[in-house]
Amino acid sequence: MAMSPRKSRQKIPGYVAQSIRKKRNQLLHGPYNCPKCWLDKLRIQVDKEREEVLAICSCGLEHSLNYVHSFESVDYFNKLIDGLNKE
């Protein structure tokens, strides 16, 4: 007797799904790896009222970025890395 494809498929354990969700949230909201000290202490602060974006780390790295309405914090992090690699 053949099983239907829906029933034969294995489900992902809950702890695996939880770790995937945690990594996804960290990727979107930080903290990020600092390109100067290589620690997970870089924060992206977006002020929508003033239209300012600051990347700040405890090692002393401070960088201001241009505000774009459609960007998330991970987009600003990628823009920061690209800008520092060009220098």
pLDDT in tens, 51-81: 999 999 999 999 999 999 998 888 999 999 9
Query: Which pLDDT score is estimated for 52?
Result: 92
CA angle 83, 43, 52 (to 5 degrees): 65
Render pLDDT for 13-59 as a digit per residue (tens, 0 to 9): 888 888 888 888 777 777 888 888 988 889 999 898 999 999 999 99
Residue ranges of E strands in 13-82: 43-47, 52-56, 62-65
Domain spans, the chain = 31-87
CATH class in words for 31-87:
mainly beta
Six-digit token pair at 15? Answer: 């702890």
Nearest to 33 by CA among 1, 81, 87, 72: 81
Most distant CA pair in the chain, distance: 66
pTM of the model: 0.67
